[in-house]
Structure 1
């Protein structure tokens, strides 16, 4: 085959290969059933091998994409599982009784722990084998938290409860002394952004009171979202 015929055959073979790019078996059949110039045959064989390698690479790429998608899904699942859950709820506890009035401001002591997931609420501390009741919530991580505090009281004395973050006043629930109604209930709630280690607690003002038992006067909170 002279050079002119080679130039003619090469485009024709190239057209055939372009049409059969995705079918290596057909290319191999062409080599086996048709007589062509040795150079063209070598080219066809090399092209067939290259096509097969490309197919293998495409298969490996698809497998890698599948594994990547599966890995991303597993990472998201792990992140959801590792998301911190912080929830607490406590009541003053004990037998029915009045707490207060006192001549000074006090931090209310919620001794009955109802729920305390992640143990961020600490009803008491121990120092030199002496239990000191503190009733303080300490944020384990930075985030937005939701707090509520409710009370039950009698008519004989006013109520004045205040929610604090460290030394910052957050919310109040107040009721005046009354001579006619027999009992009152009240409370308040607030969202608060806390840094790790911030403390939240309830203070009762001087010359006020609340009613204590296992269910009536409570202090609760939970982590809404990490920030």
Structure 2
């Protein structure tokens, strides 16, 4: 029994050697020429078939390993690009423009108006002007970037004349604040606020209505705004 096993192993090794040389068919022909028992030849042919299948499996495994390495490389490249994108986003957030302003009419404790025509109200007392988008010379805010902005207007006035302020976006009235004339009312206060979507270069300003007035000083009559978010 041991001799038979040894013979099979020896023949199998010979088969492997022959297959390693790429001459499986020649080896089978050699077996037929030299002669062997039918069972032994069948067994050796089965071993040869198994060997061929193993080689196919090994080739497929090598291909799979190659594809896996390629996938790992692409994954690393993706991770690198993701890290770069995150860095760019952080840099953009740091570079986000800040726009904030607040100004009062100034000019001392005296009335502004009434005038015989609508008049752009100039808020000369600048309290805050981060981004320098508001001009105390013209009273006009010019949007430096596209985005959503928030604006407020407040006023103080006497009751002798009407009080009317309109907030404009370019040439269009957006909101207003108003109080009628009243002889029994010695003082009036009012205000309004609005969110506006602006593009770069849009102008926002306040106009005093014809034959109306507000009180001019450093405190009660103000115009303010800030950039909520860029778009």
Q: TM-score, normalised by structure 1?
A: 0.72
In the alignment, what sits opposite 2:124?
Answer: 111
Residue 108 of structure 1 and its aligned partner are, at CA, apart by: 0.9
Unaligned 5+ segments in structure 2 are 1-14, 16-26, 29-44
Q: Distance in 2 between matches of 1:122 and 1:184?
A: 27
CA 1:68 to 1:212, structure 2 compared with 1: closer, same or farther past 3 Å? Answer: same
Q: Deviations over 1:109-129 (max 9, x none)?
A: 1011122222111111xxxxx
RMSD, matched Cα? 2.6
Unaligned 5+ segments in structure 1 are 22-46, 125-133
Q: Which has the larger radius of gyration?
A: 2
Residue 213 of structure 1 and its aligned partner are, at CA, apart by: 1.7
Q: Tell me the matched-pair count.
A: 189
Q: TM-score, normalised by structure 2?
A: 0.70
Q: Report the 3-state secondary structure (helix = DSSP H, G, I; strand = E; otherwise coil) of the residue aligned with 2:135.
A: strand
Residue 97 of structure 1 and its aligned partner are, at CA, apart by: 2.0
Q: Report the 3-state secondary structure (helix = DSSP H, G, I; strand = E; otherwise coil) of the residue aligned with 1:121.
A: coil
In the alignment, what sits opposite 1:39?
Answer: none
Q: Distance in 2 between matches of 1:89 and 1:188?
A: 15
Q: Deviations over 1:130-186 (max 9, x none)?
A: xxxx11111222333222111011222210111112221221111112222332210
Q: Distance in 2 between matches of 1:214 and 1:56?
A: 71
Q: Distance in 1 between matches of 2:90 and 2:220?
A: 39
In the alignment, what sits opposite 1:24?
Answer: none
In the alignment, what sits opposite 2:223?
Answer: 219
More helix by share: 2
In the alignment, what sits opposite 2:170?
Answer: 166
Q: Distance in 2 between matches of 1:161 and 1:101?
A: 12
In the alignment, what sits opposite 2:49?
Answer: 7
Alignment of 1:100-179 (within 5 A): 100-124=113-137, 134-179=138-183
In the alignment, what sits opposite 2:82?
Answer: 69
After TM superposition, the structure 1 stretch with the greater mean CA deviation from structure 2, 207-216 or 137-146, is: 137-146
Alignment of 1:22-41 (within 5 A): none
In the alignment, what sits opposite 2:36?
Answer: none
Q: Deviations over 1:45-69 (max 9, x none)?
A: xx4xx77766654543343232122
Q: Deviations over 1:73-114 (max 9, x none)?
A: 112212322333322111112432221222232111101112
